[in-house]
Structures are given as C-alpha cells and as structure tokens.
Structure 1
C-alpha cells in the first residue's frame, strides 16, 4: 500500500453571534453625543473587517434586530448602518429595522455623513496610469479630507487606497509640490465636486467588481466611509460613454502602427500581438483603448504570463519587438512630452527583461533532475510538468509570491493556490475530513505527474486531453480516482492500493 501523511483538522470557528456581540459592545462604548466622525470611523472599520473576511454580517445584524432580546443595544449599530452600509439595499433595510424598533436614537445618528463638500483636487501622471483625488469636507479646523488613489492600468480604473486625512491643506500643498518636482510627468488641477464624484464612483465600482482586489489596509479600514463621502458630493457630472472600437477601427490602428514602425517585421504573429494589445485596451481602458503607459503595458504582459491572454509560441516571441514599438508609436500618437517617452520605453524594456529572467528561471525549475535531454525529451518533460503546475505564482495571505515547483513543499502551495475555497481552512488548520481528502488527492496527483510515477497518471491525462477535456476537469477526474481509493492507516496517514489505482487509471476514458 502507498501511504500519504495526514494532519487532523480542528474546529475552532467563531460564531456569528459572538462577532455581533463584539460590535454591540463597541457601539455601547460610544456616548450619545459622540463626535459623528468618530462614530463613522468605528463603523467603517467594522464594515471593513467584515468585507475583508467575506462575511455579510451587516445583513445578519439587521435581521437580528427583529428578535433581539435587548433591542435598545441595536439602535446605535442600525443608525450607523442606515448611513454607512455600502449597499442601498442594506441602508434602507437598516432604516426600516430602526423605525420598527421605535426607540430613541443617539444624538449623533442624524449627523452622520452630513458634511459640506469643499474644494476638490486631482493629480495625475502624464500617461494616465495613476490619479489621486482629494475631496475636502467642512471648513477651517473642523475640515477633513478624503484622499483616494486610482489606477487605470486595468479594470477601467479602480481604487486601491482610500484614507481620511485630518489636514487636507497639507495634502494640497504636497500635491502641488509633487507636480512642481515632476516637471512634465505629473499634473495637478482643481476639479469640481461633481467631477470628483464621477471619478470616485466609477473607480469604486472597478474595485468592487474584482473578486480579490489588491488593496491597502487603509482601503479596507476607510472603504465604507469613503463610499459614504462620495455619496455626499454633489451629483456626479455626466461623461460620454466610451466609443467602441469596431473591427475596422482595430484593423486601421494596426495598419497605422506598422506603417509608423518600418523596422518592425510585419507578419501574422506580430499583427496578432498588436491586436491583443488593442483588445486588452478595449476591455480594461475603454475610454482610451490605445493609450500607452508603463503600468498599462506591464499589466498587459502580466495578463499574458498569467494565461489570461493567450499567445502562441511564435506570437510570444514577437511580443519582445512589438511591445517597445507599440510604446513608441503610442507615445507619438498620445503626444507625450519628450521627458515622458524615455521613462516609458525603459519601463517596457525592464518588464520584458524581468520576464526573460523569470522564464529562464522557470524553465530551469521545470527541468530539475534531468540533464542531457534532447530537444524532444525537454519538450515532453515541460509539457507534463507544466500541465501539472502551470504557473510558479500563487497568492499566500493576499500576497502574490513566486515559488519553486521543483520543491515538493512549495509545489504543494502552488496546488493549494488553485483551490481558494480551501485556503482559509488550511491557514486555520480547520479542514473537515472530506475537504482534507480532496486536497490530499489533488496534491498527490500533481506530485505523480511531476515525477511521472506511476506513468499511467500522465497517460490517462493525455487520453482525456485528446478528447478535449479542460485541464482543471482532468485534474479533478484524476484526483477523484485516487480519492476513491484512499484509506486511513493505523497511524495518522493515508494509503491506497497502487495496483487498483493503476487499473482505474487505465480505464479512464
């Protein structure tokens, strides 16, 4: 029998009622005449913790209000949610629940988000990759600001940081200082509150549409309050809808690009690269799909490397020449100042150089343990191992890390990275037995593919590939075949009958 090690899962989850009780205590500590901004900050931090954990406890709290044994304790949280909950549905539900309680509200309840919008400022880099927006609320010593950072490289623009600042005048001075020191690369301008509303509202949508946005701790903490302050701004100014690039428009842009790039080889592979860059722009930067910027072009390369944008090997090779040429053409087309062109080209070259190093390092990892293979042998080895582990990148604790698939422990983390539904339980050592067996089967199958032992695993995978089955479904099928044969041994491990397993693999069609 073949054995696998097993780690017993533990159950140490905190109940929803316990979390709600903690919230009720925090609001009980707030005086009825507490400063509204303090209440807003407390509420925003609580909502941020819930959002980051993926828990909709605001809905739980609102539902709990109808049957709470001490309804007076719910007044404060409901009053805060009525204004600061991040969805209109929850704000309305909280208001309705509060109305049904019919109890007196704290003095601060009617003063939440009752702020007067003042001046608004915007800084931006000359490429259009990044923007910071500052909105001032209140006057004099009582004023505060909302400072939001927006990136436009992907997702049509999205917020990755938002913070409430106590001295907005200092931020305005810093904005002007950055623009002065940045020369032609940074601009600063006063904008109307309505324009600020439009920029912020659209960018928050870009963040919220992502399943796992890479945001700062400040974004999590101030998210709810930042969205509330955005709603407090005057009505958002209307902007024109993005002009859709037709197939003819795209073809014309590609022709123009090659006419302007006589040193670039004009072949099908290069034209497909140009088309993929345009398609990326249409999806992620629809208002300016042909815009070039260091972050935007680096993000395009990231999407290629992650497999989100598919290129053939020939097209991938052509990208090394196409991308710098596209940056030069785009810089001229956008009318970028001379001082901005060189940094743009350097950023593109640096990203391609990093990519070459990553590729070389990655190939070395996949060829680990095999020297002297001929070209055909290398191709077969890479095909099998890259099927088993298609990427050397994964997320651990919300941070993207590069791992070595040749290391069994790091390879296991890469496999687990493809199963985000298990990651939280694994981090807390809280997998139930069924989930544990599934993870164990998947990691073992990947190890078997990596080592080609038993060879029948890869043979079965190739048969299923030939039938058009997607990689993830094939791995699920192989893992299910193994999992059905796993048994607990006398210790803390798992074992399976190798002969029975190989026979089942041979029957997989």
Structure 2
C-alpha cells in the first residue's frame, strides 16, 4: 500500500514511547502499518505548514476520504471507522500501530488531532480532543490555526432552483475570526431522489454569488432566494442521507473529498424541522394518472398498450425518485429515466421500445398542460426529445448499463420471445425459485434447481415448514419441491401454475402453496421412480384439483 495514498491514522502518541496499553494486532501487516504511519507523518507535516484554518479543514477532509478508501480497497478491511477509533484512542490502539505512531513529533500529533477534531463525526472528534489532554500533548505548542478550526460561523444561506426543478444549488457563507468570508456550495439533484452530488468550497463568496445571480437573471425559470440556516440544515441533512443509499451515486470528486468537511459544517447549523413527506401514491392513484393521460387529447392515436406501459414507468419514477412528482418533466429527468433508469432496470417490455419516440412527446405535452408549464419551457423540452428518444433502444440493449439484477432477469428470460409479454413468465419463474438465479444456473439441469431449492430449505423457518408438512423426509421433500420448480419454470403442465395462482388467491402464502403442490405430485413421483412413463398426468391433475383440502387433511393426520 503506497504511502502516497495518504490514509490517515490519527492519534499520534507524541513522543511518549510505549506509554500506550494497546490491544492485540488485528491483522495489519508491519508493512501496511509502516505505510499508515508514514502517511500520517506526511499529513501532520503538511498541516503544520498551513496558516489558514480553511486550508486545514479541506486538507484533512480530503485526507480522511483517501484514507478510508485505501483501507477498504487496499487493506481489504470493511471497518475503516473502527480502525480510526483504535488509532485515536490510546487505550485501544494495537501495539504495532502505536509504536510507529509514537515516532510522530508531539507538535505533529497536536496538529493532526486538532485538524481531525474539526471535521470528523462527534465520536471521533471527542476522542481526538481527549487525546489532546495527554500530559505530553497538553503542554505542546499548537499551530496558530488550532483555535480557529471547527469554529467558523455561518453568516448567510442562499438557494437557487433550476428552471425545471432538476436541482437546487445551496450556498452557505461562513467566517472565522479575523478571516475573510468563504462559501460552501452544495448541489442537490432532485431527479436522483434528492441526493447531494457535488460539494465545492468557494474562497471568493462575492464572485460565486455574482455567478449565481447572473444565472438566475438570465434564466427566467431559475430563482435565487435567501434562506434560513435551519431550513437549509434540514434540506442538506436529508440530501446527504440519500446519497449513500444509492448503489453507485454519480457524485463528483469534490463531493467525495469534501464530504467530512461538509457534514461537519451542516452539523453545526441550527436544527430545523423535518421536511414534509411527499404525498403517498397508492397504486390506484398512479393508475389514475396513466388513465387520464390515455384519455387526454395529447394521447390521441397512440398505440394504447405501449402508451400505457411507458406512462406507467414515468409515473413510477416520478413518484419514487422525484419527490412524488410524476408530472414534472425536463430534459435532464427524461434523459435519466430513458437512458439510465429504464436500461438499468429493464422494466419496460422490449416490444414497446419502438413506440418511445412517439409516446414521450405526447406525455411531455400532457404533463406541461397539467402543471402549467410555459410555452417557452415546453419548447425547450420538446427540442431535446429527438436526441434522447432516438438513443433509447441502443441504451436499453447496452449491457454496460444493466444492473446485476437486470442481468439475472435477462438470463432467466433468455428463452422467451422478446416480442412476447414476459411479465407473466417472470412472475411464474420467480414464484418457482427462492431468488434470482446466479450466472451458473442452467434451467436444463435438474441439479441447478435442486441446489436452489435445498438452499431455501436450509434455514430454520423452512425446516419448520418441512416438519409441519405431511412429508417428514427432508431429502424427499427437496426432491418434490424440485419437481414443482421445474414444472413451474417450463409451465408444463400448465395446471401446476394455475393451481398455484388459485391457492395464492385463496390466501395461502408462497411456501404453503409449494408444500401443497409437492403433496399433490408426491404420489406420481413415487410411482414414476425409475420409470418416467409411469407418471399419470390425469391423476396428477385430479390431485391438483383436490387442493388445498387434501393437503391439509394429510398434514393434520400426520400430526
């Protein structure tokens, strides 16, 4: 692990040579420990060379980000925060860690701990401040910036919303004592569920605000307003909470490096009230929007099935990822949905792909009328559509855009005609299996099914259900469920799936339905053992028709 990656270790023990009482080494090699200590020595030396508190805070924020990344990617540890605590807390640091860190000069240690305390989470900051009370460090001269870091005061807050509501720019201005005003600028992307995607430090607040005012003045749809710190606190706290929930959030390098710095600044703002939750959208409410669109003049002449399917996906995305706004349209949002989200998820049937360039303009006109969008804004959106919709089909088939889940689904449906309605096939096959199959799954191989079924029956709950069923032999039980899974996969005979749907409609849970089907097939499996021709399909159909009563009676009699 190269020392250039600058992963921060903190708590330098100062020159206290062996006064720590650390725990046993937790698997870090001496070479990696040497790299860790060297990266901290280098960081401490640089910190001591700085004169401005803002430089210190942004530097240590970037350093901590690189350190966490290196711990995960290079040391293959998934607990960077735990390691950070160990390295700060003198009572829990490994002896192998404390020894090289003890080589840090006391002044380096003081600089490092002061910087870390300014931008880290409260539990780390408290440990760092506690380290500064050490007898050796307490009497050590601190850098001139030490009393200032972490102590900036917010002066003003501004928000600027883009024309179509895709994003909000937030500018907070701060001052340290006897220092020039500086700004923290954050971008919140509402098209991506309201996540924070960019963080910048603005050393020249006047210049940055002038640029924001110019953008607002030249764009009739963009607003620049002064906001209360408490309301901005709420908005930013929620935005930074959304970003980590995304699988691969499209954040900038600035967001990554300045994340600790930004969180520390946000935490210091006055507390605000939680934002109102977006309106709840029931399935009926969603379908009503789709129905209204289909009956609107803008949708006249559209292919009904494609228009309904495409509109349904647009509504779902708006409800779930755009603050409950299914009718908000913009070039950015449509690009995200058509070239990002739909290719990633594969939720739209391929048979509707050719109709996207026809349906989307109609949807945009309908949504613009419903939301009162200006003619000028509508023209802007419509002008971008040929490029976006023209790239949809290629994007939809671009496997680089597919999520792992979509890739698994595509493998599941590889034998289905792309022009067919795949939803019923997918529902049937997912009912048959406990989860999406892996890449190695072979639908022609009985053992592939058996492994998945055995996996499902390995847990305690499933074992309990086996005991509750009429079949007490676990191996035979798995065999019967494997037979049912293969029947459902191939829909052969179709009565198996029809019976499963009937039982589910009567209120049986999935595992109960599968147990009942296994009971129905058990006699035929026993009869056909070693002789496939002995399987009596008519008898099996009759056994299916007798469910669920026959299965329940058998289970009751079995005790």
Specify the TM-score bucket, using the shorter chain as the normaliser. 0.5 to 0.7
Task: Report deviation, 1:215.
Answer: 2.1
Question: Distance in 1 between the 2:187 and 2:393 partners?
Answer: 31
Structure 2 residues without counterparts, runs of 5 or longer:
1-28, 73-78, 415-428, 448-485, 487-559
**Residue correspondence of structure 1 range 152-231 to structure 2 within 5 A:** 152-154=190-192, 156-182=193-219, 184-231=220-267
Deviations 1:339-363 (CA, angstroms, capped at 9, x unpaired): 211111222332111224657xx7x
Instruction: Name the SS of the counterpart of 1:194 in structure 2.
Output: helix
1:38 equivalent in structure 2:
55
Task: Report deviation, 1:167.
Answer: 0.8
CA distance 1:310–1:394, change in 2 (3 Å)? closer
CA distance 1:246–1:181, change in 2 (3 Å)? same
2:438 equivalent in structure 1:
473
CA distance 1:54–1:346, change in 2 (3 Å)? farther
- Paired residue for 1:327, among 337, 358, 364? 364
Question: Which protein has the bigger strand share?
Answer: 1
- Paired residue for 1:48, among 37, 48, 65? 65
Name which of structure 1's ranges 54-63 and 297-306 shifts more when overlaid on structure 2. 54-63
Question: Distance in 1 between the 2:288 and 2:275 partners?
Answer: 26
TM-score normalised to structure 2 length: 0.59
Deviations 1:109-153 (CA, angstroms, capped at 9, x unpaired): 453221111121122222111221111112896110011122111
Task: Report deviation, 1:264.
Answer: 4.4
2:336 equivalent in structure 1:
299
Deviations 1:368-389 (CA, angstroms, capped at 9, x unpaired): xxxxxxxxxxxxxxxxxxxxxx
Name which of structure 1's ranges 71-80 and 254-263 shifts more when overlaid on structure 2. 71-80
CA distance 1:254–1:477, change in 2 (3 Å)? closer
Question: Distance in 2 between the 1:355 and 1:269 partners?
Answer: 14
**Residue correspondence of structure 1 range 79-98 to structure 2 within 5 A:** 79-85=114-120, 87-95=121-129
The answer to whether the 8 Å contact 1:113/1:232 transfers is no
CA distance 1:253–1:16, change in 2 (3 Å)? farther
Instruction: Name the SS of the counterpart of 1:150 in structure 2.
Output: strand
Deviations 1:228-283 (CA, angstroms, capped at 9, x unpaired): 11122222343211211112211221222223234243634422221221111222
2:189 equivalent in structure 1:
151
**Residue correspondence of structure 1 range 53-132 to structure 2 within 5 A:** 53=70, 55=72, 57=80, 59-65=82-88, 66=90, 67=93, 68-69=98-99, 70=102, 72=106, 74-85=109-120, 87-95=121-129, 103-104=137-138, 106=142, 108-132=145-169
**Residue correspondence of structure 1 range 85-484 to structure 2 within 5 A:** 85=120, 87-95=121-129, 103-104=137-138, 106=142, 108-138=145-175, 142-154=180-192, 156-182=193-219, 184-260=220-296, 261-265=298-302, 267-303=304-340, 305-356=342-393, 391-393=399-401, 473-475=438-440
2:39 equivalent in structure 1:
22
The answer to whether the 8 Å contact 1:62/1:94 transfers is no
Higher relative CO (Cα under 8 Å, sequence separation at least 6) belongs to: 1
CA distance 1:335–1:93, change in 2 (3 Å)? farther
Task: Report deviation, 1:46.
Answer: 0.3
The answer to whether the 8 Å contact 1:185/1:339 transfers is no
Task: Report deviation, 1:218.
Answer: 2.1
1:441 equivalent in structure 2:
none
Task: Report deviation, 1:25.
Answer: 2.9
CA distance 1:241–1:300, change in 2 (3 Å)? same
Question: Distance in 1 between the 2:30 and 2:433 partners?
Answer: 41
Question: Distance in 2 between the 1:312 and 1:180 partners?
Answer: 43
Question: Distance in 1 between the 2:375 and 2:438 partners?
Answer: 51
Instruction: Name the SS of the counterpart of 1:306 in structure 2.
Output: helix
Task: Report deviation, 1:477.
Answer: 7.2
Question: Distance in 2 between the 1:83 and 1:477 partners?
Answer: 55
The answer to whether the 8 Å contact 1:152/1:296 transfers is no
1:378 equivalent in structure 2:
none
Name which of structure 1's ranges 97-106 and 206-215 shifts more when overlaid on structure 2. 97-106
Name which of structure 1's ranges 308-317 and 94-103 shifts more when overlaid on structure 2. 94-103
Name which of structure 1's ranges 467-476 and 197-206 shifts more when overlaid on structure 2. 467-476
1:504 equivalent in structure 2:
none
